[in-house]
Structure 1
């Protein structure tokens, strides 16, 4: 099985992707980074053998964590991305002409450096956009110290192990709320609830104590196996109830051409299967 990459994130479930060609393999101070070519998914990025993103299906993840809060908000100009060193999240945020400033906080400069070289399609020029301010720092420390004023905060974290663990704590979520402008929106990646129920349950417990509107929405992403992925949603505003016709108008004005996102998918993503709704309490 030396020509396969096996992810063993879960105790009783694993998935493997075939390695056609290994393009990069190196350890930084924080994690082991690998990029390899797969026949179906194109170039694949793994951190400690856990799939982070692929050329083939990354658009689903990145579109749903950007277009949903930005179009629901309707007037987002300042956005903060925590994590996202491959540049895919910044790529999608910067497609919105209404966004005038993006602060991207990434703990590991090595991720950015090799992503620009080995996964250039993911960022697609985002790192060169003058609206992007790249900060190499710990996301939790940044959120604690920032002046804030963000309309949307997107937490594009790894799973809650290693460097990403602190981004799932009550204190981090509280600091993130403080950094939001009035009626700002916080969205987070919360894993695959069928296999990682505690990840979503714990985030929703914290969100429920912080926000007037705390829930999650979902999308199905092939390489994040085990069912739909959940994205946490927290705001004190009414953005989640934005009518479909309003979303359609904002979508048309933004002139987006997404792979996955549509206004109808946006609305439907908040309709939760019973087992996920029960995790929200």
Structure 2
């Protein structure tokens, strides 16, 4: 029996624990403590500063929903910006869309990307070699504030709002993203587990409201993000983009030829129908 345990203590009074079969990689980078280990149930597991980020077994749920919902909702997503996402999972899903012509990915920590290429190769599945990719190592918020590029979709695949990821939940970051979006553009962001992180829904809603004409949240179930449903934030100046029929989304999905494990057109439409406690949380 494995004797070593990894305890995630993101929440006060609550933790989850993984049996560690083997630590594959561990380092203290200039930005954070990074460890990857193997677990019998979840395969290879990546943690940053004591918080589980992704696992081989269930990563598809998060990466598919954070990517395919905005890309199938947008009418012509040619240019995509990924903020964070150093493990390559979002990049993998974005590059599956043939109509995407250019992807800029901004990751703050080169060690995360190098580690993922070596120890989590299935996350990126070769996407780091895609000729459409412009990979930038920089602070994501600083990049968005200074770049002159425009994008159709911006995906913020950040850590929780502590440490390096905190600025990616600020009103200033959302305003800078708004400036970088083409007309009809969409911003989506990781937004925590509202049952255990209720302030994130309330605070994000308050910060998005003055910037975008339309904002909302949609949901995804990811087993290793414990505590219930996870919310993903959605913002655009075109409210019709999140109100499209299942038939419209299904036609685009069929035309793409993609095969997915979590996402489908019914899940796309249904994900925006939120439990009442999350709607109440949005209202503060």
So what's the TM-score if we normalise by structure 2? 0.97
Q: Which residue of 2 aligns with 1:112?
A: 113
Give the Cα–Cα distance (whole angstroms) in 1 for the partners of residues 91 and 198 of structure 2. 28
Q: Which residue of 2 aligns with 1:227?
A: 228
Of 253, 260, 263, which aligns to 2:265? 263
Q: Which residue of 2 aligns with 1:172?
A: 173
Q: What whole-Å deviation, never above 9, does each CA across 1:63-103 have from its counterpart, x for those lacking one?
A: 00000000001210100000000000000000000101000
Matched, 1:209 2:177: no
Of 267, 273, 276, which aligns to 2:275? 273
Paired residue secondary structure (1:210)? coil
Paired residue secondary structure (2:104)? strand
Q: Which residue of 2 aligns with 1:248?
A: 250
How do 1:107-146 and structure 2 match up within 5 A?
A: 107-146=108-147
Give the Cα–Cα distance (whole angstroms) in 2 for the partners of residues 144 and 2 of structure 1. 47
Q: Which residue of 2 aligns with 1:218?
A: 219
Q: Which residue of 2 aligns with 1:92?
A: 93
Q: What whole-Å deviation, never above 9, does each CA across 1:149-173 have from its counterpart, x for those lacking one?
A: 1100000000011100111111011
CA contact (8 A) 1:74 1:250 kept: no
Aligned length: 281
Paired residue secondary structure (1:121)? helix
How do 1:10-29 and structure 2 match up within 5 A?
A: 10-29=11-30
Deviation of 1:2 (Å): 5.5
Give the Cα–Cα distance (whole angstroms) in 2 for the partners of residues 16 and 80 of structure 1. 34
Q: Which runs of 5+ in 1 are unaligned?
A: none
Paired residue secondary structure (1:209)? coil
Give the Cα–Cα distance (whole angstroms) in 2 for the partners of residues 31 and 129 of structure 1. 27
Q: Which residue of 2 aligns with 1:57?
A: 58
CA contact (8 A) 1:148 1:178 kept: no
Deviation of 1:148 (Å): 3.1
CA contact (8 A) 2:83 2:105 kept: yes
Q: Which residue of 2 aligns with 1:192?
A: 193
Q: Which residue of 2 aligns with 1:32?
A: 33
Moved over 2 A (4+): none
Give the Cα–Cα distance (whole angstroms) in 1 for the partners of residues 3 and 143 of structure 2. 40
Q: What whole-Å deviation, never above 9, does each CA across 1:45-76 have from its counterpart, x for those lacking one?
A: 00012110011000100000000000001210
Q: Which residue of 2 aligns with 1:9?
A: 10
Give the Cα–Cα distance (whole angstroms) in 1 for the partners of residues 39 and 261 of structure 2. 20
Deviation of 1:216 (Å): 0.2
Q: 1:2 to 1:9 in 2, by over 3 A?
A: farther
Q: 1:159 to 1:2 in 2, by over 3 A?
A: farther
So what's the TM-score if we normalise by structure 1? 0.98
